[in-house]
Structure 1
Amino acid sequence: MNYIEVIILAIIEGFTEYLPVSSTGHMIIASSFMKIANDDFTKLFTIVIQLGAILAVLALYWKQFFQSVDFYVKLFIAFIPAVFFGLLFNNTIDGLLESPLVVAISLILGGVLLLKVDDWFKSNEEFDAENPTAHSEISYLTALKIGFFQCLAMIPGTSRSGATIVGGMTQKLNRKTAAEFSFFLAVPTMFGATAKKLYDYFGDGLVLSGSQINYLIIGNIIAFIVAIIAIKSFIDYLSKKGFKIFGYYRIILGIALLFIHYFIYPLSII
């Protein structure tokens, strides 16, 4: 890995982490084209720079993290399914992380879903006396259900934010509330994933060189800055326009990847 690759991957992470387009999928694609995807440090790097994206949420929503103990209880409840299934299917997930084809198929299927979401949950945005079921409050049960939806993102290309936002909308949450809870849930989820990856990396007897430490620092700084911009822009756009543009983007990208794989050169790096 070199500094140019670091910058590219960090920008991709910061920009896509909170959009329903799959940051992991995009980094698998980018690192595959750069022919560094099967490198141990690359796999570590793409996880650890999520810390920068986490700090972006804390910087933008710091007041919410001081509002009540109940807030943390809901995050913990929503986080439990990811811990259980993540540990249960750890090896399977690692294998899928090395398959751009899985990413391509997941992008297309998820894109088709996003084209329908706005119509399916249109009533969620119309909260008034005539529509008392739409709301912006999250119960413990709702938090748990969103946590199960988050587990779908263990399939690369699915999108953690997309899965949790749609999960929230199935519970009558409006788009803005569902998206913001998705951002909050990303903090313990990505912190846990980062800690697990670092533990495994050093547990395998691998060490970080001075340049690799610099790469991680630079990557996190870039991811932090880009994620702040992406979050603020996404919330505004999502509240007004919905998901369709992300659905079309996912479908186009997925089809392009399949075309490249079958007609230009194989993308699989397993």
Structure 2
Amino acid sequence: MTEQKPSRTPKDSHYATLRRQFRDQKAGGAPQPQRSRRPAAEGSQAPEGLVRLYGLHTVRAALDNPARQIKRMLVTKNALDRLEIGDSSALPFDVEIVDPRAIDRETGTEAVHQGVMIEAKPLKAQSLKALQESSLLLILDQVTDPHNVGAIMRSAVAFGAGAIITTARHSPQESGVLAKAASGALELIPHIEVRNLAEAIGELHELGFTTIGLDSEGPLELERTMPQGRIALVLGAEGKGLRQKTRETVTHLARLDLPGAIKSLNVSNAAAISLYAAQRFLAGDSA
């Protein structure tokens, strides 16, 4: 039976590197420094007042949004063809045809940019007056993860929500990460920022909305809280859930009926399910 050699540990690798550097110095050569990947992964900062958005769906939606002010685009030839822009010189902003590594240097190597990045002004947050005739809203109570917020925006657009409402503080700012997770939805749904969520919920009550706070220990099943009229679903932060003041302010606290052993879901999954249930109810398809 052949004796197997033990696998190398990180400590072994470290000492092996030191030994090689010592041999190089002894032979008169300079030690070779280890490369750090961190600067490439992080990328560079966007110019002040601008955000960097990337990915084919994200950029295509931004191009189609008349409210989006784009200042610069970096794009590969392949991505340009897939965006079906046509004559890029006719666009009202600078377009640079580059290789993917040039975009990596801007966004960082971890960003899945699919060969295109734009620099643009952030969209302006709107006020509650922008609701108009919306019958379904989504309210986020200090949900901070941009991946979750982006995924929630995507679901909100898919299920026809009229707007998404977030707090001005303790909510993610517009970014490439959020926009990529939203897959174009950032450009398609009004985003309303409020300073005081409890006061905003009170205003929604005056506008005829029933506000339903999602809580894994809510006393009622979500379907039993659905009103005839306008619905605003309220979801809390990852881990913490709804704040106490929010719990006291909403019309109902409700839970999703989960028959399995796990009784809570990621906030983006809970948003998608509750939006589906609310939309079915509003459409008259509830049981």
Shorter-normalised TM range: under 0.3
Q: Which structure's relative contact order is higher, taking Cα pairs within 8 Å and 6+ residues apart?
A: 1
TM-score by length of 1: 0.21
Computing the radius of gyration from Cα coordinates, the structure with the larger value is 2
Q: By percentage of residues, which structure has more helix? A: 1
TM-score by length of 2: 0.20
Q: By percentage of residues, which structure has more strand? A: 2
